[in-house]
Amino acid sequence: MIGIEAVILTIITASTPLLLAAIGELVVERSGVLNLGVEGMMVMGAVCGFIATYYSGSLILGVVAAILAGVLMSLLFGLLTQTFVTNQMATGLALTILCLGLSGLVGEPFTGLPGAKLPALYIPYLTDIPYIGKIIFGQDALVYLSLILVFFVQYVLFRTRVGLIIRAVGDSHVSAHALGYNVVRVRYLCIMFGGACAGLAGGYLSLAYTPQWIENMTSGRGWIALALVVFATWMPRRILFGAYLFGTVWIMGLYVQGIGLGIPSQLLSALPYIVTIIALVIISRNKQLTKLNTPACLGQQFVPDR
């Protein structure tokens, strides 16, 4: 049972960065913007969070630095796509390439150095409950924050006027503009929210999941987060299921390597990406489900009337 508890705890920590990055990107795409730079914003959040914590000794400052790094990178993306109206897909890919190179350059002196780790919460009596205490009441603060964000985004998008405006901009930016809404401003704010979540996801990797900086430590998680949004058909509550499903696949691949079943390690390492491709293929075959929630203006450029 102890072994099962340890596996579940590891699955939760592996799923959290996927959940954080995906829920942020979902809001961005709901506004009609496709940001393929999630991987880049995550890796910048990871390196900046680690460096800030290393110099200040404060994990709180590290988390703040990770968020700010993600927001700054998202503002660069927003400036290019919303102000200068560049192609969103090409800009997102360029942002990822830029951030991967920049993070490697900035983080080179810190590679492999030990860092501080976000502490797990301890609630007297509750955390001590056998088997489930640590799983439910003994996680670090960002795990609970990621869960809160899912329900917060679900509520805002479908129960508030703000969410209605975001969805209106994503479904028909021309109509939203005609009604008097500032489409560019709404999209900028959504892009910044997505950047903050991606930066926080990266910070979680270097401050909680593996408390150190390693070049390219995101290892494709940003791309999986992008796929998760499609997997969840742009519905926040499904993001939660998808993130933990992919986190389970990720950890079980490592677990199988550890117990030595004779399966090639290369195949097990590729398992999360294989599952991602299979999931996308299955979802893409259901055209009705995909079209039902896909923002109609996703990836389309918008130039307001002058």
- pTM for the full model? 0.94
Lowest mean pLDDT among 114-123, 184-193, 233-242, 253-262: 253-262
- Largest separation between any pair of C-alpha atoms in the chain: 66
What does the pLDDT read at residue 267?
A: 76
Pairwise CA distance, residues 123 & 86, whole Å: 50
pLDDT at 49 over 60: yes
| Of the candidates 192, 210, 273, 223, the residue with the CA atom closest to the CA atom of residue 40 | 223
pLDDT tens per residue, range 191-209: 999 999 999 999 999 999 9
pLDDT tens per residue, range 136-175: 999 999 999 999 999 999 999 999 999 999 999 999 999 9
Q: Which fold has domain 2-293?
A: ABC transporter involved in vitamin B12 uptake, BtuC (1.10.3470)
Pairwise CA distance, residues 238 & 31, whole Å: 18
**Residues composing the chain:** 306
Domain ranges of the chain: 2-293
What does the pLDDT read at residue 147?
A: 97
Q: H helices within the chain, ranges in order? A: 2-30, 38-56, 59-78, 88-107, 133-137, 141-159, 161-171, 173-178, 183-204, 221-231, 236-259, 265-285, 287-293
Handedness of CA 57, 59, 64, 67 (dihedral sign): positive
pLDDT tens per residue, range 94-134: 999 999 999 999 999 999 899 999 999 998 888 989 888 89
57 or 131: which leads in pLDDT: 57
Lowest mean pLDDT among 72-81, 190-199, 227-236, 249-258: 249-258
Q: What are phi and psi of 120, to 5 degrees?
A: -75, 145
Give me the residue label for tokens 């899912």. Answer: 150
pLDDT category at 57 given cuts 50, 70, 90 is very high
pLDDT at 287 over 80: no
Residue 140: strand, helix, or coil: strand
What one-letter code names the amino acid at 264? P
Pairwise CA distance, residues 145 & 149, whole Å: 6
Pairwise CA distance, residues 12 & 105, whole Å: 31
What does the pLDDT read at residue 1?
A: 45
Neighbouring-strand partners of residue 114? 212
